[in-house]
Structure 1
């Protein structure tokens, strides 16, 4: 869920409703977004993304955890004497999985006590480095690191022949190029975090699991070992 696009009180109510209907099985993934064209489509300046994310997250948690009516006067959102219903099934609120990639943003996730959601573009080595940063930040606060508090997004392509592998890699590279075009400002003024990854074949192979079921199983184990 890209928080800068959403009214945080409405989102709190919608998420709590889903949590109740699912019997307390909702996990909510959140991020600040990274595609310029999407922010433009919602008429939200992308340079406001981080501030909007921080404020929306603060309101979201307050909406779930307040037992009484409350108010909020922020830069982007103002709420007066509100109560959010229904309450979520999970208390104090459903688990939050916060997308992050830079060391600073990963440390923010740890400081807030949320779970870490890592992207699908990083290599196994980069993923391991980010998990290590998160682990150190959690332990620096006197908490025990739980490997299950980290989720890694990953595309999987089951290929049985070299020709199928080449076809899958070519499709991945084309998809990456399209994503980078959508993520960047036409003038080049804003460059998304996705642009920091290798745009060529090596990058296309590093962030995806290609291979037979056995080969993919081995690479999944390598990812798990990074914890």
Structure 2
């Protein structure tokens, strides 16, 4: 089992002017330390308008910065929202490919639909359309990464003409693809499409075994690849996966503070039970009120990778025994010093044995799945992408609807450039004449 880190970049109120700046600077220090410690991947979510709960609105920016301070740790979108109102698929392909190039091929391309009222409503997305938008956007974004040129697409939600989208990713044909899965049915859907399942698992390692087995069973029985590269893996993240490692259990709990349950509370607030007034509702304040009524919401040993190295090792072994390929450990708000020591202790005392066992697991799994993947490849449906019209071209000035308006910015700019060239030539001529 691989062990990775997960950022929401939660930022509880009250805020001071430098808080967001310091949060990202601390995060970069932590990812650099995690790279040295041997963590597999740093996964960064993308959310919009979910103040306090998540300030990770432009994950590609942070991951790009992290790529220049690290060498081995993989850089995961956990996830990028694919509805085109949030991220147009051509822009998705451009940003993912650019990050893959500057990171020397370390991108994990996690995708999702978006599901909160705050985000769907903020971008005027009909919740009934989001699955269809994700499916179309996934196809288009991957085709933009792999086709030279992209030959065009006309669907229910996305229409785009032929263009050669550049740059192309370093990982060929494209980085591994994942999809966020909140229910067993979506895990099955990931398996059917032969892509990785970013599975939110709130049930603990025991029941997770059924979800893992179900993924691989569905993959073998019904899998039909929708992307050129298959990614047969299932990963676990959940509300019980906070990380805080210290020399003793007591010290770990003290350093974690009450923030360990804020992730789950934030999900409940923004996705289910809360009513939110932008810029006014105090999410952290409401969380503290709930913790006061029920202190168990704040978590502790047994409710995450929280405690001494021995405690955390035992906790992680339970998930390893579930058969899950990777586990993501959540980093909690306002706990930078404790997080830095946690990362160091994980690297020295816990990760090496898991890394060693994972290398053997991956080799055995690859051998076991080889005939299964051959079977899946045979089920791959023929591409419906249109062929490229070699006579197609574009050019000239942008023209508005009905040809009534033609953009004039470029002609005016070119006229200025030409006038500048004429003036420069005249000045040069006058200088030569004066010299003689």
TM-score, length of structure 1 as denominator length:
0.78
CA-to-aligned-CA distance 1:126-161 (integer Å, 9 cap, x gap): 322211111111222589xx9982222332133634
The Cα of 1:105 is off from its aligned counterpart by 1.3
- The structure 2 residue matched to 1:157, chosen from 239, 244, 267, is 244
2:342 corresponds to which residue? none
Where 2:197 maps in the other structure, the secondary structure is strand
The Cα of 1:217 is off from its aligned counterpart by 0.9
Higher Rg of the two aligned structures = 2
Compared CA separation, residues 48 and 86, structure 1 to 2 (3 A):
same
CA-to-aligned-CA distance 1:153-187 (integer Å, 9 cap, x gap): 33213363459648958533454223311113768
Following the alignment from structure 1 to structure 2, what is the Cα–Cα distance between the partners of residues 106 and 225? 19
1:26-105 matched pairs, under 5 angstroms: 26-105=107-186
1:1-227 matched pairs, under 5 angstroms: 1-4=80-83, 5-119=86-200, 121-141=202-222, 149-153=233-237, 154-158=241-245, 160-161=248-249, 165=253, 168=256, 170-184=258-272, 201=296, 208-227=304-323
Figure out how many residues of one structure are paired with residues of the other and give that number.
214
Q: Which moved more, 1:15-24 or 1:101-110?
A: 101-110
Following the alignment from structure 2 to structure 1, what is the Cα–Cα distance between the partners of residues 146 and 98? 15
Following the alignment from structure 1 to structure 2, what is the Cα–Cα distance between the partners of residues 19 and 51? 27
The Cα of 1:73 is off from its aligned counterpart by 1.0
CA-to-aligned-CA distance 1:85-133 (integer Å, 9 cap, x gap): 1121111111112221323211221122212212263422232221111
More contact order relative to length (CA 8 Å, sep ≥ 6): 1
Q: Which moved more, 1:127-136 or 1:41-50?
A: 41-50
Aligned Cα root-mean-square deviation (Å): 3.2
Query: Any conservation in 2 of the 1:120–1:155 contact (CA below 8 Å)?
Result: no
Following the alignment from structure 2 to structure 1, what is the Cα–Cα distance between the partners of residues 149 and 140? 14
TM-score, length of structure 2 as denominator length:
0.43
Where 1:151 maps in the other structure, the secondary structure is strand
Compared CA separation, residues 46 and 68, structure 1 to 2 (3 A):
same
Query: Any conservation in 1 of the 2:249–2:306 contact (CA below 8 Å)?
Result: no
